[in-house]
Amino acid sequence: MKSISQMGIALAILAVGFGAGCQKTPSVPSRSPAEVAFVVVQPKTVPVEAPFVAQAKSSHQVEVMARVNGFLEKILYHEGDMVREGQVMFQMDRKPFQAQVDAARAEVEVRRAQLWTARANLDRIKPLADQDAASKSDLDNAIGSVQAAEAALHEAGARLQKADLDLGYTTIKAPVSGMSSQSLMREGAYLSSTGPSATLTYVAKLDPIWIEFSVSQNEMATTRQEVAQGTIRLPKHLDYVVEVELTDGVRYPHKGKLSFADPSFNQQTGTFLVRAELPNPKGVIRPGMFVKAYIKGAFRPNAIVVPQKAVQQTPNGHMVFVVDDKGTAEVRPVVVGEWIGEDWVVSRGLKAGDRVIVDGFQKLGPGVPVKALTPQANGTATQSSASAGSAAK
């Protein structure tokens, strides 16, 4: 009986000890502040640089055409090379046209001789008619013969001029200075001035070069709305500057100006055509090339700008971490606009004085205490290191 009592007491002690152990609350270690760097955002004026996918176009592209019928004898230019205005590019067979010139010149001589004879006859009859030695009818016939001979001479001269023009058209020259294309016809081909064989090639002027791009109806409406609200200000006299970025990412050294904006809306593409003109002295930009055009001149007053690395994208949109008044991290949804260099314009979600975290995101979360390091500068006004550190504690 004694052993049973002792065993019960031991079990009771174990039960009490086990229960006490189950009811003890484990200690939770305090969260150490996350070290972060931030910027203090302040409104400032920033330029607006609107990018557009654009295509280059010759400022003066002219098709080289055959203006008379005949056989193509020679191609006198190197296809694809630069040609000068007036340079001979094609030579047609001249012999038939030279024969027409010779025949027309001979006819002119015949008509000139006929005119001489008619005038000589008039000179003989006129004195006789004055003395009533010749009839009035003879005088009228003589005058009419002179007038007919003069008209025939003018007609023959016109035919000679036409023959000379046709002969000159057999030598086909470059209409402008520019880049030549391939020849569509080869030596020995018969050229018809009214058929498809009339088109021989084209010459495209490269300096200046045109850059064409399209502005959508929505983009136009958005810009007008922002101008009305004062968030965007346009340059004086709409004097925009156009810069071009080539496919390798290099900015083209020459800048241009807008030269044309189509007032009509294209219903098929839903856009407005806009054209810029740029110097192209070395012919770097060729017609048909795709480039990126940046339209500069407008600006945003009092814009909120943060570094791109501070903005994070989530399934619900963009967000940033800010340091709140309690020194903890706060998730702030934002609406972003265009990029400006390494910065991002924030149209909604931030205000002047907000401390936006730009580094140290690894341990961040809503409500996590932060320890602010030296604030980083991104072109905006920031607090000093001492005040920034004390403000975040």
* Positive or negative torsion for Cα 161, 167, 171, 172: positive
If asked whether residues 120 and 165 sit together in one domain, one would say yes
Percent of the chain with pLDDT over 90: 49
Structure tokens at 92: 């047609």
Q: Which of residues 11 and 84 earns the better pLDDT score?
A: 84
Identify the domain containing residue 349 by its residue range. 34-45+302-392
- For residue 310, which of 63, 91, 37, 55 has the smallest C-alpha distance? 37
Residues 274 and 228 in one domain: yes
Predicted local distance difference test score (pLDDT) of residue 23: 44
- pLDDT for 288-313, tens place per residue? 999 999 999 999 998 889 998 889 88
Q: Does the residue 381 lie in any domain? A: yes
Whether 214 is in a domain gets the answer yes
Q: Are 327 and 38 in contact (CB under 8 A)?
A: no
Reduced to 3 states, what is the DSSP secondary structure of residue 361? coil
Q: Compute the distance between CA of residue 258 and CA of residue 289 in angstroms, rounded to an integer.
A: 18
Look up residue 196 and give its DSSP letter: G
Among 23-27, 125-129, 148-152, 374-378, the range scoring the smallest mean pLDDT is: 23-27
* pLDDT tens digits, one per residue of 254-273: 999 999 988 888 888 889 99
Q: What is the pLDDT of residue 177?
A: 93
Q: Indicate whether 333 and 365 sit together in one domain.
A: yes
CATH number at residue 233: 2.40.30.170
The total number of structural domains that make up the chain? 3
State how far Cα 299 lies from the chain centre: 20
Check pLDDT > 90 for residue 210.
Answer: yes
Q: Is 12 a domain residue?
A: no
Residues 249 and 283 placed together within one structural domain of the fold: yes
Q: Is 73 exposed, middle or buried (0-12, 13-18, 19+ CB in 10 A)?
A: middle
Q: Do 321 and 291 lie in a common domain?
A: no
pLDDT at 26 over 50: no
Does residue 149 register a pLDDT over 60?
yes
Residue 75 to residue 252: CA distance in whole angstroms? 35
> Does 294 share its domain with 306?
no
Q: What is the DSSP string of 279-310?
A: --TT--S-TT-EEEEEEEEEEEEEEEEEEGGG
For the chain, report the end-to-end CA distance as a whole number of angstroms. 68
> What span, in angstroms and rounded, lies between the C-alpha atoms of 202 and 198?
12
Task: Tell me if 308 is assigned to some domain.
Answer: yes
Contact (CB, 8 A) for 272 and 214: yes
Distance between CA 212 and CA 295 in Å, rounded? Answer: 12
For the cut 70, the answer to whether the pLDDT of residue 382 exceeds it is no
The overall pTM is greater than 0.85: no
CATH of the domain at 312: 2.40.420.20
pLDDT band of 358, cuts 50, 70, 90: confident
Who wins on pLDDT, 373 or 23? 373
Asked if residue 88 is part of any domain, the answer here is: no
Find out whether 90 and 192 touch, Cβ atoms under 8 Å.
no
Which DSSP state fits 32?
A: P
**Helix spans in the chain (H):** 2-23, 95-130, 136-169, 217-229, 385-392
Using N-to-C axis directions, what is the helix angle for 95-130 and 136-169, rounded to 10°?
A: 160
Who has greater pLDDT, 12 or 362? Answer: 362
On the question of pLDDT at 324 being above 90, the answer is no
If you average pLDDT over residues 13-35, what whole number do you get?
48
The domain boundary, picked from 300, 333, 359, lies at 300
Q: Is residue 86 part of a domain?
A: no
Q: What is the DSSP string of 158-169?
A: HHHHHHHHHHHH
* Domain end (from 169, 185, 219): 169
Instruction: Please indicate, yes or no, whether residues 214 and 296 belong to a single structural domain of this protein.
Output: yes
- Phi/psi for 179 (5° steps) reads -85, 130
Whether residue 294 is found in the same domain as residue 354: no
Q: 323 and 281: one domain?
A: no
Are 319 and 292 in a shared domain? no
Could you count the other beta carbons within 10 Å of the beta carbon of residue 334?
21
**Pair (209, 295) in one structural domain:** yes
Q: Which of 300, 315, 346 is the last residue of a domain?
A: 300
Residue 374: predicted pLDDT: 58
- Is residue 332 domain-resident? yes
Tell me the pLDDT tens digit for each residue of 151-197: 999 999 999 999 999 999 999 999 999 999 999 999 999 999 999 99
Q: What is the CATH number of the domain that holds 142?
A: 1.10.287
Is the pLDDT reported for residue 249 higher than 70? yes
Same domain, 126 and 144: yes
